[in-house]
Amino acid sequence: MADPRFFIKSPAISLANIVALTGAELLGDYKEIEIADVAPLDKAAAGHISFLDNIKYAGQFKESKAAACFIRKKHITHAPAGMILLVSENPYLCYAITAQAFYLDKIRTASVSPNAYIAESAKIGASCTIEANSFIGENVEIGSNCYIGAGAVIQAGSVVGDNSAIGANSTISHSIIGKNVIIHRGVHIGQDGFGFAVSPRGLVKVPQLGRVIIEDDVEIGSGTCIDRGAGPDTLIGQGTKIDNLVQIGHNVQIGKHSVVVAQVGIAGSSHIGNGVMLGGQVGVVGHVKVGDNVKVAAQSGVMGDLPAGASYGGSPAVPIKDWHRQTLALSKSVKRKETENE
Amino acid sequence: MADPRFFIKSPAISLANIVALTGAELLGDYKEIEIADVAPLDKAAAGHISFLDNIKYAGQFKESKAAACFIRKKHITHAPAGMILLVSENPYLCYAITAQAFYLDKIRTASVSPNAYIAESAKIGASCTIEANSFIGENVEIGSNCYIGAGAVIQAGSVVGDNSAIGANSTISHSIIGKNVIIHRGVHIGQDGFGFAVSPRGLVKVPQLGRVIIEDDVEIGSGTCIDRGAGPDTLIGQGTKIDNLVQIGHNVQIGKHSVVVAQVGIAGSSHIGNGVMLGGQVGVVGHVKVGDNVKVAAQSGVMGDLPAGASYGGSPAVPIKDWHRQTLALSKSVKRKETENE
Amino acid sequence: MADPRFFIKSPAISLANIVALTGAELLGDYKEIEIADVAPLDKAAAGHISFLDNIKYAGQFKESKAAACFIRKKHITHAPAGMILLVSENPYLCYAITAQAFYLDKIRTASVSPNAYIAESAKIGASCTIEANSFIGENVEIGSNCYIGAGAVIQAGSVVGDNSAIGANSTISHSIIGKNVIIHRGVHIGQDGFGFAVSPRGLVKVPQLGRVIIEDDVEIGSGTCIDRGAGPDTLIGQGTKIDNLVQIGHNVQIGKHSVVVAQVGIAGSSHIGNGVMLGGQVGVVGHVKVGDNVKVAAQSGVMGDLPAGASYGGSPAVPIKDWHRQTLALSKSVKRKETENE
């Protein structure tokens, strides 16, 4: 069970309710059975519900003590005797939904700390949690049921939609943020982009006159930086998830439901499509287009446009098969010499 | 026009004044014409001033609705009828200067928040803006007309020159910062370098007894970390611009007017010259020298000294032509095999 | 001498005491000599103690004005006349210990600021330094002699052991932190890992129900992010040192006395052994094992398990000799063509 110092667990939930939440098909007449907690297969105890998503864990599955398990139809023959099965084409999703039902976020208290600084002109919605030492500037608009962490800074004029969270010590300016957005700690959104004109006296700052638009259901990891647009806006599309320590330059646009893994850097004015997956530490140069549903392997360098729907790797990034061939060719050439020399 | 929630626009400015600011040559007798705003070519409306820096935007230029445009002499033949032209060898610089004249930074109020913590021994210059929840430690010296953002922390003894800005939630210690410096949000300057001696009981900390010196006109992006020197100082030279999430190790010295793009890492004791350009995600190992005016392509790994005035790429970094040849050779070898196999 | 605005130097220390601290062997009867300060060879003045660790600095050694020097036995023949020698197999370690004796950390005052927010249910040990604008949540437990920097945020339930430091503007949650731990500024520990289930309506958050466990004597650099476990805990082993801007994903385990250089990224569920050295900007994919005492060169990409005790380089990482051969082969192939073309 999760450490009660950090997590509040709901009381037991019946399988009937779990079926209602997840849409999974319960095999057998076990609706009245109460489930006490969620757990992975190897940690589950009596009364817990678990999931089998990948058949390579069939061994753990057979020995699991879980009372019940989400599972794909084709895997039910692997089930140990006595385990209650809930069939779904997406066992991991069912598990996620169930885990959400069991565990609430402990930090939301729906109270505004008297130690927060809130400008008089700011508008704060109902049921917000605003922690001590946070800063909410002039004319900021915060929706209802939001969480503003300790030390978070929201500068003048920015807007935060309903049910969104701004993590501790994050800083937000020049931003319009949608609903159900999660911004983790130490995220910096809306600062100047990196724009300079060369002059005989050195580099001269070009005023950055755009904003950052973050659509609904976006999640942004700790330490990530998103610069505001130079003239156009920087845009993060609905449902996109961004990991920690990512750099997003001015005027970048990312589509909907894309995934940007940790330490990726996207240079100014590049456009990333919908459903794109950028692996960890990928770099994307400025002014390029990455098509919908593209996948880029970790550490790759995207130096030009990438057509939609394909996978790429390497620096400069090439179609993933070519990258694997390059890697293999390099490896073989060296091995051959090694053999010759020995 | 820029979103008025975030930007304050000056009233109209006459072309006479714009000429005085930029030094551009106004073609025709339009000195009395009033300009209302700046905008890129494709967004400009009547009354706006724009710029043409790159002839590949000649199409946008011909269809632009801008009233006036900064332009190079050689491009004036492309101008649409009725557009007022201001000739300069550096249209983008003229645009930057004009944009600065139109737009002021809204966050400066020249007031000190009663919710800031300021040690009694700290000295604060005239006309500073110090936001709530900031922390200014013992014997800190802040020049005049500075901005200290909400939640910024300036530890004991550090010095900040006139007209400089320390962004929200940045932390500064052991630092001497010059004039007209812009430090964005969540920047960490002056913490211990990464120095350890190996012992039988594990790694033993070597006290880091140097400082960070930041010269005038430097800009440092959000999330960047600059460690203080181990004995010598860490130094960022005048006019150098550093992007977001850059790591600068102890004893590093960077010259004047260099550009360090996002997510670069420079390991301890390396020296970077004047006018150097390090692309995004470049890594520089410790104890090397990068000569003046060197350019290093994004994601490259600098593993040794780089002579002045040339361009490099790859990991390990080699002269840029060699890197392009390596990339091409790898690509060709794979393509050939592909053809043979099909 | 270190800048007195930032460092407090102890008065002179006798060589007898320095010998007692370091275990070095003093050549000659100089026990009563008082040493005034530490300094590197080229900066040392009369009365200072220095060290010679690497014979390539023999030139500086011969011309150094240091009164005394830590040195290996085999190097004593290089010593200039009149220099007092202290023989040790680890001169740098002796120097580190001596420097620690001379310099104290100025920021510890053993006082709790009335401007800190401390929940009533929090427990604070004796002699802690807690700066203004810090935040200590419900049921947090802080040991004795800890330092909590300005703007640091420690959320409900977390535990910090004796003699540990939490830097300014860091954020901690869901964490159990040991003794003598140093967490620098702007470090984010304990936020959600990056875990999502794919659904027809987009990515669904999987609750992250683990913690972060940080053992004794760990040091964590500025801007680093460590996500809490998804179910298991994320673990940083005793004595491990982590540099700035490192990303550590959920469920990662790092062993004891390992070194992780700046901007490394370690993806979820990977296990790093004891005594491992990961160079700057290294990436490690998820679910792999890196054996004890492995060394990985800067910018490498670890894409699979790495057996213990060896060195690796490249992306994908291969044994270091193979990587050097690959680099050389690529370089040669290009040079050859260049010659042919000229």
The pLDDT of residue B68 is 97
Q: Is the distance from CB of C78 to CB of C64 less than 8 angstroms?
A: no
Q: Is the distance from CB of A224 to CB of B33 less than 8 angstroms?
A: no
Q: Tell me the three state secondary structure of residue C211.
A: coil
Q: B: neighbours with 3+ CB pairs under 8 Å? A: A, C
Which of A51, A56, A57, A54 lies closest to A70 in space, CA to CA?
Answer: A51
Sheet order of strands, A234-236 included: A123-124, A141-142, A159-160, A175-177, A212-214, A234-236, A253-254, A271-272, A289-290
Cα angle A178, A181, A187 (rounded to 5 degrees) comes to 110
Is residue A303 pLDDT above 70, yes or no? yes
Most confident listed range (A327-336, B52-61, C89-98): C89-98
The pLDDT of residue C332 is 82
Is residue C47 pLDDT above 70, yes or no? yes
Quote the CA–CA distance of B269 and B287 in Å, as a whole number. Answer: 5
Domain coordinates of chain B in residue numbers? 8-104, 117-314
Q: Is B287 left (phi over 0), alpha (psi -120 to 50) or beta?
A: left
B107, B151, B263 member nearest A247 (Cβ): B263
User: Smallest CA–CA separation between B175 and chain C, in Å?
Assistant: 9
B95, B241, B281 member nearest A283 (Cβ): B281
Active site residues of B: 250
List, for residues A75-86, the tens digit of each pLDDT value.
Answer: 999 999 999 999
Class of domain C170-321 (CATH, top level): mainly beta
Judging contacts by C-beta atoms under 8 Å, the chain C residues touching residue A103 are 207, 209
Q: Is the distance from CB of C83 to CB of C68 less than 8 angstroms?
A: yes
The pLDDT of residue B332 is 81
Integer angstrom CA distances of residue C224 from B250, C175, C241, C248, C270 = 17, 15, 12, 8, 17
pLDDT mean across residues, chain B: 94
The pLDDT of residue B201 is 86
Judging contacts by C-beta atoms under 8 Å, the chain C residues touching residue B326 are 330-331, 333-334
List, for residues B93-109, the tens digit of each pLDDT value.
Answer: 999 999 999 997 666 77
The pLDDT of residue A70 is 98
Inter-chain touch C90–B326, beta carbons under 8 Å: no
Task: Answer yes or no: same fold for B8-104 and B117-314.
Answer: no
User: Smallest CA–CA separation between C4 and chain B, in Å?
Assistant: 9
Is residue C339 pLDDT above 60, yes or no? no
Inter-chain touch A210–B133, beta carbons under 8 Å: no
Judging contacts by C-beta atoms under 8 Å, the chain C residues touching residue B137 are 150
List, for residues B70-89, the tens digit of each pLDDT value.
Answer: 999 999 999 999 999 999 99
Exposure on the CB side of residue A17, measured as CA atoms within 13 A:
13
Classify residue B251 by its DSSP letter.
T
Is residue B342 pLDDT above 50, yes or no? no
Judging contacts by C-beta atoms under 8 Å, the chain C residues touching residue B211 are 3, 6
Class of domain C8-104 (CATH, top level): alpha beta
Q: A: neighbours with 3+ CB pairs under 8 Å? A: B, C
What SS3 string covers chain A? CCCCCCCEECCCEEHHHHHHHHCCEECCCCCCCEECEECCCCCCCCCEEEECCCHHHHHHHHHCCCCEEEECHHHHHHCCCCCEEEECCCHHHHHHHHHHHHEECCCCCCCECCCCEECCCCEECCCCEECCCCEECCCCEECCCCEECCCCEECCCCEECCCCEECCCCEECCEEECCCCEECCCCEECCCCCCEEEECCEEEECCCCCCEEECCCCEECCCCEECCCCCCCEEECCCCEECCCCEECCCCEECCCCEECCCCEECCCCEECCCCEECCCCEECCCCEECCCCEECCCCEECCCECCCCEEECCCCEEHHHHHHHHHHHHHHHHHHHHHHC
Burial of A183 from C-beta contacts in 10 A (0-12 / 13-18 / 19+): buried
Inter-chain touch C204–A97, beta carbons under 8 Å: yes
Is residue A1 pLDDT above 60, yes or no? yes
List, for residues B140-180, the tens digit of each pLDDT value.
Answer: 999 999 999 999 999 999 999 999 999 999 999 999 999 99
The pLDDT of residue A333 is 75
Is residue A168 pLDDT above 50, yes or no? yes
Owner of token pair 């319960």: A26
User: Smallest CA–CA separation between B108 and chain C, in Å?
Assistant: 22
User: Smallest CA–CA separation between B70 and chain C, in Å?
Assistant: 41
Quote the CA–CA distance of B340 and C235 in Å, as a whole number. Answer: 50
Q: What is the ipTM of this complex?
A: 0.95
Cα angle B96, A286, B312 (rounded to 5 degrees) comes to 100
The pLDDT of residue C329 is 86
Average pLDDT of the residues in C23-31:
97
Integer angstrom CA distances of residue C187 from A226, A265, C137, C273 = 18, 20, 17, 23
Average pLDDT of the residues in B257-274:
98
C196, C210, C247 member nearest A241 (Cβ): C196
Question: Where residue C336 falls among pLDDT bands split at 50, 70, 90?
Answer: low
The pLDDT of residue C110 is 85
The pLDDT of residue C92 is 96
Average pLDDT of the residues in C175-199:
96
Question: Where residue C14 falls among pLDDT bands split at 50, 70, 90?
Answer: very high
The catalytically annotated residue of C75, C174, C250, C271 is C250
List, for residues C82-128, the tens digit of each pLDDT value.
Answer: 999 999 999 999 999 999 999 976 667 789 999 999 999 999 999 99
Inter-chain touch C265–A280, beta carbons under 8 Å: yes
Quote the CA–CA distance of B55 and B48 in Å, as a whole number. Answer: 20
Which are the contacts of C321, defined by CB distance < 8 A and separation ≥ 6?
A: none
Inter-chain touch B168–A155, beta carbons under 8 Å: yes
Strands C84-87 and C25-26, how do they pair? antiparallel
Integer angstrom CA distances of residue A264 from A223, A278, B282, B300, C255 = 12, 7, 13, 15, 26
User: Smallest CA–CA separation between A299 and chain B, in Å?
Assistant: 9
Is residue C337 pLDDT above 60, yes or no? no
Percent residues over pLDDT 90 in chain C: 88
Provide the residue count of chain B: 342
Is residue A108 pLDDT above 90, yes or no? no
Average pLDDT of the residues in C161-189:
98
pLDDT mean across residues, chain C: 94
Q: Is the distance from CB of A234 to CB of A217 less than 8 angstroms?
A: no
Cα angle B52, B93, B310 (rounded to 5 degrees) comes to 95
Structure tokens at B264: 């670069």
Is residue A105 pLDDT above 90, yes or no? no
Quote the CA–CA distance of A12 and B190 in Å, as a whole number. Answer: 51
Which are the contacts of B319, defined by CB distance < 8 A and separation ≥ 6?
A: B310, B311, B312
Inter-chain touch C184–B188, beta carbons under 8 Å: yes
Is residue B39 pLDDT above 60, yes or no? yes
Integer angstrom CA distances of residue C306 from A30, A34, C260 = 46, 44, 16
* Chain center to CA of A173: 21
Average pLDDT of the residues in B324-333:
86
CATH number corresponding to B117-314: 2.160.10.10
Burial of C5 from C-beta contacts in 10 A (0-12 / 13-18 / 19+): middle
Which of B190, B235, B250, B117 lies closest to C6 in space, CA to CA?
Answer: B190
Q: Is the distance from CB of C131 to CB of C167 less than 8 angstroms?
A: no
Question: Where residue A334 falls among pLDDT bands split at 50, 70, 90?
Answer: confident
The pLDDT of residue A342 is 46
Q: Is the distance from CB of A194 to CB of A227 less than 8 angstroms?
A: yes
Is residue A16 pLDDT above 70, yes or no? yes
Inter-chain touch A241–C203, beta carbons under 8 Å: yes
The pLDDT of residue A106 is 61
* Chain center to CA of C94: 18
Structure tokens at A54: 């990948």
Inter-chain touch C93–B301, beta carbons under 8 Å: no
Average pLDDT of the residues in B110-119:
96
Judging contacts by C-beta atoms under 8 Å, the chain C residues touching residue B133 are 133, 151
Quote the CA–CA distance of B149 and B133 in Å, as a whole number. Answer: 9
Classify residue B191 by its DSSP letter.
P
Judging contacts by C-beta atoms under 8 Å, the chain A residues touching residue C199 are 90, 93
Cα angle C225, C231, C234 (rounded to 5 degrees) comes to 35
Is residue C238 pLDDT above 70, yes or no? yes
Q: Tell me the three state secondary structure of residue B337.
A: helix
List, for residues B194-212, the tens digit of each pLDDT value.
Answer: 999 999 889 999 999 999 9
Which of C251, C331, C242 lies closest to C287 in space, CA to CA?
Answer: C251
Inter-chain touch A155–B338, beta carbons under 8 Å: no
Judging contacts by C-beta atoms under 8 Å, the chain B residues touching residue A267 are 261-262, 280, 298
Owner of token pair 């962490």: A149
Question: Where residue C331 falls among pLDDT bands split at 50, 70, 90?
Answer: confident
List, for residues C279-291, the tens digit of each pLDDT value.
Answer: 999 999 999 999 9
Beta bridge partners of C16: none
The pLDDT of residue C333 is 75
Is residue B338 pLDDT above 90, yes or no? no
List, for residues B312-328, the tens digit of each pLDDT value.
Answer: 999 999 999 999 999 98
Percent residues over pLDDT 70 in chain B: 97
Average pLDDT of the residues in B25-47:
95
